[in-house]
Amino acid sequence: MDFSYTQEEEMFRKRLNEFLDKELTEEIARQNWEDLGVGPEAREFSRKLYENGFLGLPWPKEYGGQELSPTYDFILIDELGKRWGAHVPLDVGYTMTGHTILRRGSEEMKKEFLPKIIRGEIEFGLGYTEPNAGSDLASMMMKAEEKDDYYLINGQKTFNTESHYADYHWLAARTELDPDKPKHRGISLFIVDQRSPGITIRPLITMSGERTNEVFYDDVKVPKDRMVGEKNKGFYYMMEAIDSERNHVFVPARLWPIVNDMISYVKATEYNGKLLSDDPQIQSKLAQMIIDLEVAQVLADNARWLELNELPMTMEPEITKLVVSELEQRMVDDAMQILGLYGQLEEGSKWAPLRGRIEWYYLHSFLPTIGAGTSEVGRNVIAQRGLGLPRG
C-alpha cells in the first residue's frame, strides 16, 4: 500500500499552497469552520478556488469535473485544514451530499446540482436529527405525504447546522407511515429549497459560539422530482453520506494548527525565568500530540485508500472519526494545561494567549464526539458492523 502522492499530485499541492498563501485569510477560514455563516468573502474565495482549478478535479467531466483521482480532493481538504482548520468553503455539498447525488440521484438532479456544487456555488444543510431521533435516526417522525405532483412535509428538525445560510436542505423524512413496517425502511431523502414557504429557522447557539438551528416545516410542498433516489431508501443513502462525511470532515490535518501554535507559544514564553520549551514535561506533552496525530493520519489514509479504490468499508471511517475527535479533546486539554490559568481567557482579552484560539478549540472540542454520531454509538458500530458482534 503506497500512500505517497504522484508527481502531478505533488505539483497540485505546491500550486495550491502558493494560491492559499495569497488568498486564504484567517477570517475566511473561520467563517465556515465556526459556522458563523459563509459570508461574501468565503463565497468569493470558493469561486476563486474553482476558477484557479482547485475544485472538482475528481468529479465526472459531464458535470464540470476533470475525472482525476479523488486524491486531489483529499489534498485540497488537508492543505486547507492546516491553515486555521479551514474547510472547503461550501463543504456540505462538496464533501457529503454531492457524492450521494452522484451515486443515487436522477440524471436531471445530477445535471441541476452537481455543476453548481463543483463550481462551489451552492451549499446544503444536513436535515437528519430531530428532538426524539438523534442516535436512533430511524425513529424520525417528520412526515412527507405523497400528493399529486408533490410531497407535503410537516415536522421539526434540530441541530441543523448550516440551515441559516445554506441554499438547500438535505432532508430526511418519513414516507412510509404504516407503524408495522420496519422504521428504517420508511424514510426518504429530499433536496428542499431552504427558503420554501412554510419553513421557519430558529438559532441554537452552542457554548463555543457556533450557530446551529431548529428547522420547522409547516405544510411545505416539495416537488416529487426533488426526492433523491428511490422512495423509502433514504436511510441507506444517509448512512452512505455519513461515511463520506467521516472520511472528508474528520481530518487529522485540521489539528496541526493547534500543535503549531503550541510549539510557537512554548518557545516564546518564560515561566519562573525559563522558557516553557525547556520543560521536559511540556516537551513530552507536545511529543505525544505528534505521535497521536501521525497515528490518526495513517488511519485516515487507510480509510481514504479504501474509498478511493471502491473497496468495502465496514468500520474504517468510523475508527478514524472516533480517533480524530477524541484526539482533538485530549490535545486541547493538554494545550489548556500548558497555557495555565490564562488559557481560559477569551478572544478579545488582551491577556488571552494565542488570541484565545485554544480556549475556543476547547469549547468546540465537545462537538466532534457528538456530531455525525456519538463516540458511544461509534463503538457500537465498530463492534457490530466491523466485528460482527450481535446488536444489543
Ligand X SMILES: Cc1cc2nc3c(=O)[nH]c(=O)nc-3n(C[C@H](O)[C@H](O)[C@H](O)COP(=O)(O)OP(=O)(O)OC[C@H]3O[C@@H](n4cnc5c(N)ncnc54)[C@H](O)[C@@H]3O)c2cc1C
- Sites of contact with ligand X (CB under 6 A): 126-129, 134-135, 159-161, 206, 212, 367, 370-371, 373-374, 376-377, 380
Q: For residues 308 and 363, which CB has a smaller minimum distance to ligand X in the complex?
A: 363
**Considering the complex, what minimum distance in angstroms separates the CB of residue 392 from ligand X?**
7
Q: For residues 186 and 353, which CB has a smaller minimum distance to ligand X in the complex?
A: 186
Q: For residues 69 and 196, which CB has a smaller minimum distance to ligand X in the complex?
A: 196
**Considering the complex, what minimum distance in angstroms separates the CB of residue 186 from ligand X?**
18
In order of 193, 196, 213, the CA distances from 31 in angstroms are 22, 25, 17
Task: Please report where in the chains the cell 496525530 appears, as a residue.
Answer: 293
Residue showing the smallest CB distance to ligand X in the complex? 134
Q: For residues 110 and 248, which CB has a smaller minimum distance to ligand X in the complex?
A: 248
**Considering the complex, what minimum distance in angstroms separates the CB of residue 391 from ligand X?**
9
**Considering the complex, what minimum distance in angstroms separates the CB of residue 379 from ligand X?**
8
**Considering the complex, what minimum distance in angstroms separates the CB of residue 273 from ligand X?**
43
**Considering the complex, what minimum distance in angstroms separates the CB of residue 366 from ligand X?**
8
Per-residue HEC secondary structure of the chain comes to: CCCCCCHHHHHHHHHHHHHHHHHCCHHHHHHHHCCCCCCHHHHHHHHHHHHCCCCCCCCCHHHCCCCCCCHHHHHHHHHHHCCCCCCCCCHHHHHHHHHHHHHHCCHHHHHHHHHHHHCCCCCEEEECCECCECCCHHHCCCEEEECCCEEEEEEEECCCCCCCCCCEEEEEEECCCCCCCCHHHCEEEEEEECCCCCEEEEEEECCCCCEEEEEEEEEEEEEHHHEECCCCCHHHHHHHHHHHHHHHHCCHHHHHHHHHHHHHHHHHCEECCEEHHHCHHHHHHHHHHHHHHHHHHHHHHHHHHHHHCCCCCCCHHHHHHHHHHHHHHHHHHHHHHHHHHHHHCCCCCCCCHHHHHHHHHHHHCCCCCCCCCCHHHHHHHHHHHHCCCCCC
**Considering the complex, what minimum distance in angstroms separates the CB of residue 131 from ligand X?**
8
**Considering the complex, what minimum distance in angstroms separates the CB of residue 301 from ligand X?**
25
Q: For residues 308 and 370, which CB has a smaller minimum distance to ligand X in the complex?
A: 370
Q: For residues 31 and 297, which CB has a smaller minimum distance to ligand X in the complex?
A: 31
Q: For residues 135 and 200, which CB has a smaller minimum distance to ligand X in the complex?
A: 135
Q: For residues 58 and 134, which CB has a smaller minimum distance to ligand X in the complex?
A: 134
Q: For residues 32 and 129, which CB has a smaller minimum distance to ligand X in the complex?
A: 129
Q: Which residues pair with 125 in a beta bridge?
A: 169
**Considering the complex, what minimum distance in angstroms separates the CB of residue 371 from ligand X?**
4
